[in-house]
Structure 1
Amino acid sequence: MRFFTVCILILATLDNVWAQRPDTLRSERVFELGEVTITGFQDLDTLNSLPSRVIANYNRLDVSNALNLMPGIALANVGPRNESVVYVRGFDLRQVPVFIDGVPVYVPYDGYVDLARFTTFDLSQINVSKGFASILYGANTMGGAINLVSRKPLKKLEYGARAGVFSGDGLRANLNIGSNLGNFYVQAGASILKQDSYPMSGDYTPHQYEDGGDRENSYREDMKVSAKIGYTPNATDEYVIGYSFQHGEKGTPPYVGTDPAIRTRFWKWPKWDKQSLYLVSNTAVGESSKVKARLYYDTFVNELFSYDDDTYTTITRPYAFQSYYDDYSLGGNVEFETLSISNNVLKVGAQAKYDVHRENNLNEPQRTFADNTVSIGIEDTWRIVPAIAVVPGISYNARISSKAQDYNATTHEISDFPSNNNNAVNAQLGVLWDINAKHNLQGTIARKTRFATIKDRYSYRMGQAIPNPDLTAEVAVNYDITYTGKLFSNLTIQASAFRSDISDIIQQVDNVQPGRFQLQNAGDALFYGTDMQAGYVPVRGLQLNVNYSYIRRKNETNPGILFTNVPDHKIFGSADYAFLKRFRVMASAERNSKRYSTSYGTSVPGYTLVNTMAGINIVKGVSIEGGVNNLFDVNYSLVEGFPEPGRNFFVTIHLTNL
């Protein structure tokens, strides 16, 4: 904390008069080399892009809560693991992988990532592709992709720092500093986000393992440092080395629901550490072509301790253990783009990724699993006439299992699972119609796939499952039509209708052996719905926003197995008013309908949350803001038996020269 305090004081004395942020610098300082876009399609797609200033305005401290601002996205909680996740039009994070600057960071073992461990402090924007993701992302983008894009400095010296406190003895502090000297630039950031517990709603009824007040075992601590150095020798070329390290610790609050089929777990996670080192380059080839390349090495080290009871002191019972993961991913991709064909932007890409997962419990030998994934694809944006563009794309993806070790807990012997390979073809087509300067229409169809994860294929699920190395890829055919328009001079709207036909879904098939299930490619499903948003400025300084999501998910193979964690309806609205060049107030409200927590029907009711905040610019570049989340202290849950925070408060000071 002293480090952040000293840095803030030094920065505050660097300039007595800070200039107002000019329009040319209000771009979110996007590191464009870290983006993965389909030429022409993302330009007007405000449904799917979340800039850093919006994230900060709503005080969203981690990526999951930031993404919840967007239509078509449902915030969820894997309660027994205390993992914060999102669903994109009904698809989970295995089917919508997470990237940082185009580098995949999802966990090799199960394809998930705990988005609460990823803070938003050093991001320029978050881009979400729904259904129609660029072929150049590679494999497993069955439902889309999430790309966290870092910052790039534009001035010789720029800095921003925030420090604050919030309910539950919470502390947040972050510093971003950058310098652009023309041919060279550097960007660095450091942050800490910690909380001892979160407050329960006053309407919560005490339970055996939760008496109310402060939520039991709900602590968290997340620290991160990041840096990148860039070299731009000329107007077209750029070479960047980036590094980030994040350390996380958390507890899993105990289950306090009423479902007799769910056992209460007493879990702590002493370590949730991730490191990424990457090189990104862009090199011009002649006057009309360029080559873009990424190389990366990403590690994930994880510790999970399961205790005997709610004292969290002993690990002796059969269900108690100490589990260790030691994973890494090594890979790269290269992309060739050319404008040499008239009215076309042609991109050809290839990538390879080597994933290694190593696991063991205390006093057990380590087991190793390794997958090789390769992808080759081509994507073109063909401007048929000035107002109409067509975007076809196709890729071939393959996953080769190079190592998979089985462990017999009785004999303590390690053996090999049978080898297995799988391949899949992704193909898509989009049409973009610029009706006029104020109206745009997009239509897409995409066949996308997801390979079974290491966990899908090999996990015994604590003795309840039979491994299935021969699982094949899930397949989705995604359809979308999106309208973007500006009505009058102060009203913008965007609306999408979508449908996904999904086949070969990996589902649980019971009693393959007596009392044991197996995951098989046994399901078909249909997802469909709409998401939309509108922004309106009725008077100077007042911004009104609203978005709405509707989604239905049908299990067509077995209607008795329900899809979980996504409400049919979600609506979000906000009013943000800035006045007298110094003051700002904002209120927002969110309504979610009922959602299922288990495939057999356990559910949580719908809820409505109201958040408020206010801020004041003390002098140029220095501001203070504070607010109340869950203003009416609603007792609600995202998953049954795991109540969310009640009314909570925050205060933050912000210093910047931007």
Structure 2
Amino acid sequence: MIKKLLLTIASTSSIYHYSIAQETAEAPVSCTFELGEVTVSGLTRKDSTQSLSIQRIEKFNRTDLASALNLLPGVTCANVGPRNEAVVYVRGFDLRQVPVFVDGVPVYVPYDGYIDMGRFTTFDLAEINVSKGFSSILYGANTMGGAINLVSRRPVSKFEINGRAGVFSGDGFRWNVNAGSRLGKFYYQLGASQLKQKTYPLSADFQPRRYQLTPDRENASRNDLKFSAKVGFNPNATDEYVIGYVNQNGEKGNPPYVGDDSRIMTRFWKWPKWNKQSLYFISNTAIGEKNKVKTRLYYDTFVNSLFSFDDTTYTKQTRGYAFQSYYNDYTVGGNAEFESRVIGNNILRLNIQYKRDVHRENDLNEPVQPYVDNTMSIGVENTYQITPSLAVIPGVNFNIRNGEQAQEYNASTNELIDFDESKNNAVNTQIGLFWDITANHSIRGSIARKTRFATIKDRYSYRMGQAIPNPGLKAEAAINYDLSYTGKLGSRFALQASLFRSDINDIIQQVDNVQPNRFQLQNAGKALFYGTELGFDLLAFKGFKIGSNYTYIKRKNETNPDIKFTNVPANKVFGYADYSFLKRANVLVSLEHNSERFSTSYGTKTGSYTLVNSKASVNLYKSVSVEAGVNNIFDLNYSLVEGFPEAGRNFFVTLVFNHF
């Protein structure tokens, strides 16, 4: 069993057809919650360059969302160092432009459009799907660079349970349990997990600095506890009704800055609360033989506390930069989708969405400042099968954002000040051509004009007194071009290649000295992103597989070259070698190289680095196995952002149990 569970991304069928079932023969059908997927109708194939199964995620011991996504070409793992937030960039676009969904439900934070991916563990997922450039119109607004959808699990047998428990460097431990059952027309899926760590070890090459004199990273603790539940009802072969709930409670430290940039002020921050809850209902109802209606309704909350202290004792709050800040946000919304197959060789989908974001913030002893945004999207997407192997897919949607309320507290007068009304409309259009040349070779080409509304923070934030709010900010827009090939040569070699380009207009950029020593965000920029993705997987001989992917991306600020785009290296390489032997053992070695990248818009850089990781697995008895590994084997001293060093050599041991 363990050998099957530990198969890697090279499978025995086309890379374009890669799926969970090809990695684990124990599950007779996919354990993916298909109702939670957001796909273009008629395109059921899954491209392994844009999809991660839970088997692959566990294979490479990726415990949080950011590190898991880093396995894919075109995706770059980054760190918002001053906030200790793990994020990713997709072909150069950040998380405001590539939003995150869980089972198609948006989960990004209302205030700034981001989420901290380090708080999202992978333990209860079935797969992660990434759309790049061309994404389904049914995602709605703000998918300027694509979309990321986390798809949960669904049981496939009468009773199934799996879990993991382990320890790792930095006084860390993890555990998770997933259990589910399918009983006739009903099923349930439950999950619980915890990922806790006191610190992480720095490389022996790190030179002690002020605020970092010990070999373990200061103020780098984390504790993430998560529970999830899903109950489903299948009254017949076509219909399904599901209620899902996710509750995650997190807290984290914020390691201090230890770099050489005099412009960056060291922060002494802790996040005692980073809590998120999601309650949603998803349904699929057939109307006759050729029509169906799919709905999503959701209520999502985000409660956050951020404390700034005087110094590294993290006990006193007496200085001017000390504060206690609180967020109490919620989002409520839903969408309805009508699909018709009445016309032969044609699938038509109509979709309407509404989303209400409420952001409420205040510092200690200050009144609550409310912000309310309403977003509506109306879209149509059509899949026309020209021939059995050739499909054309146009789509269009119209998006409206209305800033209903925005208030700012004036500490001098102790009054709440109303901002001017903020409204904006945006149109997204796209067309894709998908051609299966043969059973083993496919080409897809697409052009997509996508937009991203300015966030509440973009429009209203004073940036600690350094900025002038701009309620009139309009949407950014990008025209994304993509040409991709996936194929297989023989039964052992799969490969993929992509060329992509994005022409971006009305970029929201900082314009300095709009007033003396104060900047403002304005739609002042044009940019060009372009690059390529290449990859292969090879079954060299029985039990031994190798694979690699490469990403090149160039980002040009055409309006103001002096303002640098940050956090994305020009070159990224990922590779692995995977060997299974004795019917119960497996050894995996992986390598990742990133070239240098900018850490600040004014040119501060962090250097290139190459990491080597390893893992060994042994099946002990039937459904029980043990895994152990070493990350950063050569103890490299490296950073994703200047002044915030990452972990040096570190170890983990995990006990695994699977019963299907």
* TM-score of the two chains, using structure 2 as the length reference: 0.96
Partner of 2:596: 594
Q: Residue 576 of structure 1 corresponds to which residue in structure 2?
A: 578
Partner of residue 444 from structure 2, selected from 442, 445, 453: 442
Is it true that 1:565 corresponds to 2:567 in the alignment?
yes
Task: Find the counterpart in structure 1 of residue 105 from structure 2.
Answer: 103
Opposite residue 261 of structure 1, the aligned amino acid is: R
> Could you tell me which residue of structure 2 aligns to residue 124 of structure 1?
126
Alignment counterpart, residue 618 of structure 2, candidates 604, 608, 616: 616
2:250 aligned residue: 248
User: Aligned partners of 2:23, 2:590: CA distance in 1, in Å?
Assistant: 26
Note the C-alpha offset of 1:23. 2.6
Supply the AA of the counterpart residue of 1:134.
S
CA contact (8 A) 1:168 1:196 kept: yes
Q: Distance in 2 between matches of 1:583 and 1:561?
A: 51
**Counterpart residue number, 1:346:** 348
Does the C-alpha gap of structure 1 residues 552 and 40 become closer, same or farther in structure 2, counting only changes over 3 Å? farther
- 1:392 matched to 2:394? The reply is yes
Matches of residues 209-608 of structure 1 in structure 2 within 5 Å? 209-608=211-610
Match of 1:64 among 58, 63, 66: 66
Question: For residue 104 of structure 1, what is the amino acid of its counterpart?
Answer: P
Q: 1:79 to 1:624 in 2, by over 3 A?
A: same
Contact 1:131 1:479 in 2 (8 A): yes
Q: 2:345 corresponds to which letter in structure 1?
A: N
In structure 2, C-alpha distance between the alignment counterparts of 1:507 and 1:652, rounded to whole Å: 45
Q: Which amino acid aligns with 1:333?
A: N
C-alpha distance 22-130 of structure 1, shift in aligned 2 (>3 A): closer
Q: Is the 8 A contact 1:506 1:520 kept in 2?
A: yes
The alpha-carbon deviation at position 558 of structure 1 amounts to: 0.3
Query: SS of the residue aligned with 1:66?
Result: helix
Matches within 5 A, 1:11-26: 23=25, 25=27
| Deviation, structure 1 residue 593 | 0.1
What's the CA shift string for 1:97-120, capped at 9, x where partnerless?
A: 000000000000000000000000
In 2, are the aligned partners of 1:28 and 1:53 still within 8 Å (CA)?
Answer: no
Contact in 1 for aligned 2:28/2:156 (Cα 8 Å): no
CA contact (8 A) 1:28 1:125 kept: no
1:345, CA displacement in angstroms?
1.1
CA gap of 1:27–1:478, structure 2 versus 1, over 3 A, is farther
* Aligned residue type for 1:464: Q
- Distance apart, 1:28 and its partner CA: 5.0
Letter of the 1:120 partner, please give it.
Answer: T
Determine if contact 1:47/1:532 at 8 Å carries over to the other structure: no
Write the distance in 2 (CA, Å) between the matches of 1:387 and 1:156: 38
Residues of 2 paired with 1:595 and 1:254: CA distance?
21
Q: Secondary structure at the match of 1:25?
A: coil
Q: Any conservation in 2 of the 1:44–1:484 contact (CA below 8 Å)?
A: no
Return the offset for 1:580: 1.2
Structure 1 residue 412: Cα displacement: 1.0
Name the CA shift for 1:500/1:26 in 2 (closer, same or farther; >3 Å).
Answer: farther
Deviation at 1:42, TM superposition (A): 5.7
- Measured in 1, the distance between the counterparts of 2:504 and 2:74 equals 18
Q: Is the 8 A contact 2:219 2:255 kept in 1?
A: yes
Q: 1:480 & 1:429 partners in 2: Cα distance?
A: 11
Percent same amino acid among aligned pairs? 65
Q: How many residues align?
A: 639
> How far 1:338 sits from its partner (Å)?
1.2
Question: What code does the residue aligned with 2:315 have?
Answer: T
| Larger mean Cα displacement after TM superposition, 627-636 or 309-318 | 309-318
> Aligned partners of 2:152, 2:628: CA distance in 1, in Å?
26
Q: How far 1:488 sits from its partner (Å)?
A: 1.2
3-state SS of paired residue (2:298): strand
5+ residue gaps, structure 2: 1-21
Cα distance per residue 1:393-425 (max 9 Å; x no partner): 000000001110121111110021011100000
CA distance in structure 2 between the aligned counterparts of 1:397 and 1:42, rounded to whole angstroms: 27
* In structure 1, C-alpha distance between the alignment counterparts of 2:546 and 2:349, rounded to whole Å: 39
- Aligned partners of 1:204 and 1:212 also within 8 Å: no
Structure 2: how far apart are the matches of 1:32 and 1:542? 32
**SS of residue paired to 2:223:** strand
1:311-345 deviations in whole A, cap 9, x for unaligned?
A: 11111111110000000000000111111111011
Deviations 1:204-247 (A, max 9, x none): 00001101411000000000000000000000000000001000
Match of 2:15 in 1: none
Give the AA of the match of 1:555. N
- Residue 138 (str. 1) matches residue 140 (str. 2): yes
1:636 alignment partner in structure 2: 638
Do 2:23 and 2:55's aligned partners in 1 also have CA atoms closer than 8 Å? Answer: no
Q: What secondary structure is seen at the aligned counterpart in 2 of 1:472?
A: coil
Q: 1:617 to 1:342 in 2, by over 3 A?
A: same
Is the Cα contact below 8 Å between 1:270 and 1:303 reproduced in 2? yes
Please give the per-residue CA displacement for 1:287-321, whole angstroms capped at 9, x wherever unaligned.
Answer: 01110000000000000000011111111111110
For 1:50, the equivalent position in structure 2 comes to 52
Q: 1:63 to 1:250 in 2, by over 3 A?
A: same
Shift of 1:183: 0.2
Unaligned runs of 5+ in 1: 1-19
Secondary structure of 2:118's counterpart equals: helix
Q: Measure the CA separation in 2 of the matches of 1:636 and 1:135.
A: 39
Work out the CA distance in 1 between the residues paired with 2:24 and 2:644: 45
Whether the 8 Å CA contact 1:631–1:647 is kept in 2: the answer is yes
Contact 2:142/2:452, CA 8 A, preserved across alignment: yes
Contact 2:76 2:90 in 1 (8 A): yes
Compute the displacement of 1:41 (Å). 4.2
**8 Å contact 2:30–2:156 — kept in the other structure?**
no
In structure 2, C-alpha distance between the alignment counterparts of 1:150 and 1:517, rounded to whole Å? 43
SS of corresponding position for 2:541: coil
**Alignment-derived partner of residue 7 in structure 1:** none
Whichever residue aligns with residue 178 of structure 2, its letter is N
Query: What amino acid does structure 1 have at the position aligned with 2:247?
Result: F
Q: List, as ranges, runs of 4+ consecutive aligned residues in structure 1 with deviation greater than 6 Å.
A: none
Separation in 1 of the partners of 2:493 and 2:64? 29
Q: Does structure 1 retain, via aligned residues, the 8 Å contact 2:409–2:417?
A: yes
CA RMSD of aligned residues (A): 1.1
Distance apart, 1:40 and its partner CA: 4.1
- Asked whether the equivalents of residues 164 and 651 of structure 1 are also in contact (C-alpha less than 8 Å), the reply is yes
Query: Cα deviation per residue 1:506-550 (whole Å; 9 max; x = unaligned)?
Result: 000000000000000000000000112111101111121100000
Contact 1:28-1:52 at 8 Å conserved across structures: no
SS of 2:459's equivalent in the other structure is: helix
Mapped partners of 2:339, 2:606: distance in 1: 49
Deviations 1:94-146 (A, max 9, x none): 00000000000000000000000000000000000001010000000000000
Residues 359-396 of structure 1 deviation map (CA, whole Å, 9 limit, x = unaligned): 00001000000000000000011001122100000000
SS of residue in 2 equivalent to 1:46: coil
Cα distance between partner residues in 1 of 2:148 and 2:299: 19
SS in structure 1 at match of 2:531: strand
Q: Which residue of 2 aligns with 1:3?
A: none
Distance, in Å, in 1 between the alignment partners of 2:591 and 2:338 is 45
The separation in 2 between residues aligned to 1:41 and 1:557, in whole angstroms, is 38
Q: Which position in structure 2 is the counterpart of 1:149?
A: 151
